Amino acid sequence: MENKYIDKISEEVVDEIKSFKEKEDLINFLSQIFKAMSDPTRIKIIYALMKGPLCVSDISLLLDMSQSSISHQLSLLKNQNLIKVKRLGRRAYYSLDDEHVVSLFKYGLEHAKHKI
């Protein structure tokens, strides 16, 4: 049986896909970003941080979780460059790294709302 879809792919698209699949570092980094965002607690933290910078105790109170649990999740998000930290005196305030994180989250949220 003939595959009518494969016959319609242009050389430009084939070249682009071949080029992309060779970028292992980029693909692995992208995969790690989505893995980091795949945990329900981290989703809640990202949502909270979309409202503005928060310290561990604020997030702990908002999500009704221990500060050590929140700190662990924040560390994972920070390691993937999804959040950043700013120290003011004895407190550390966490915020989303940039607008790309906001966009990723918002598009994912809209897609989920659309499907539920």
Q: Cβ distance 59 to 50 under 8 Å?
A: no
CATH number at residue 68: 1.10.10.10
Residue 111 belongs to a domain: yes
Per-residue model confidence (pLDDT) at position 91? 94
The count of domains in the chain is 1
- Whether residue 4 is contained in a domain is answered as no
54: pLDDT strictly greater than 70: yes
Mean pLDDT of 75-98: 96
**Rounded Cα gap, residues 7 and 42, in angstroms:** 43
- Chain segment 23-33, per-residue pLDDT in tens: 999 999 999 99
Domain membership of residue 1 (yes or no) is no
Inside any domain, residue 2: no
Kindly give the pairing relationship between strand 91-96 and strand 54-55.
antiparallel
Question: For residue range 60-83, what is the model confidence (pLDDT) as tens digits?
Answer: 999 999 999 999 999 999 999 999
Closest CA to 53 of 92, 79, 81: 92
Q: What is the pLDDT of residue 6?
A: 65
Rg (Cα) of the chain, in Å, rounded? 19
Domain span holding position 47: 10-115
